[in-house]
Amino acid sequence: MADLPLTEVDPEIAECIRDEEKRQHEKLRLIPSENYATRAVMEACGSVLNNKYSEGYAGKRYYEGQQNIDKVEQLAIERLKKLYGVDHANVQPYSGSPANLGVYFAFCKPGDTIMGMGLPSGGHLTHGWKVSISGKYFNAIQYGVRREDHRIDFDEVAKLAREHKPKLLFCGATAYPRVVDFPKFAEIAREVGSILVADIAHISGLVAGGSHPSPVGHAEVISSTTHKTLRGPRGGMILCNDEHKKAIDRAVFPGLQGGPHNGTTAGIAIAAKLAMADDFKAYAHAIVDNSRTLADTLVSRGFDLVTGGSDNHLILIDLTNKDVPGKVAAQALDRAGMVANYNSVPFDTRKPFDPSGIRLGTPAITSRGMGADEMKRLGNWMADVVEDTENEGLITRIAGEIKDLCDQFPAPGVRL
Residues that bind ligand PLP (CB under 6 A): 33, 95-97, 100, 124, 126, 172-174, 199, 201-202, 225
Q: Which residue is nearest to ligand PLP (CB)?
A: 96
Catalytic residue among 73, 153, 199, 311: 199
CB 206 within 8 A of CB 287: yes
Of 81, 151, 165, 234, the active-site residue reads 234
Q: Rounded to whole angstroms, what are the CA distances from 164 to 98, 152, 153, 368, 373?
A: 25, 18, 16, 46, 49
Kindly tell me which of 126 and 265 has the beta carbon lying closer to ligand PLP: 126
Range list of β-strands (E), 133-190 = 139-143, 168-171
Query: What is the Cα–Cα distance from 405 to 175, expressed in whole angstroms?
Result: 27
Closest CB 203 distance from ligand PLP, rounded Å: 9
Q: Residue 345: is it exposed, middle or buried by C-beta count within 10 angstroms (0-12/13-18/19+)? A: buried
Amino acid in position 406: C
Catalytic residue (one of 21, 55, 112, 348)? 55
User: Of the two residues 230 and 399, which places its CB atom closer to ligand PLP in the complex?
Assistant: 230
User: CA distances (Å), 45 to each of 99, 138, 261, in order?
Assistant: 19, 35, 9
C-alpha 120/C-alpha 145 separation (Å) is 9
Q: What is the β-pairing status of strands 28-29 and 60-61?
A: unpaired
Q: Known catalytic residue: 71? A: no
- Helix locations, 87-153, DSSP H: 96-107, 133-136
| 134 vs 367 by CB, closer to ligand PLP | 134
Answer yes or no: 55 catalytic. Answer: yes
**CB nearer ligand PLP, residue 26 or residue 220:** 220
- Please report how close the Cβ of residue 261 comes to ligand PLP at its closest, in angstroms: 13
Closest approach, Cβ 258 to ligand PLP, in A, equals 18
To the query of whether residue 228 is one of the catalytic residues in this protein, the response is: yes
Is 79 or 124 the residue whose CB approaches ligand PLP more closely?
Answer: 124
Nearest to 298 by CA among 237, 223, 357: 357
Query: What residues form DSSP beta bridges with 61?
Result: 56
C-alpha to C-alpha distances, 274 to 72, 91, 231, 410, nearest whole angstrom: 15, 16, 9, 19
Give ∠ CA 230-231-237 in degrees, rounded to 5.
50
Residue among 86 and 237 whose Cβ is closer to ligand PLP: 237
Cite the active site residues.
53, 55, 199, 225, 228, 234
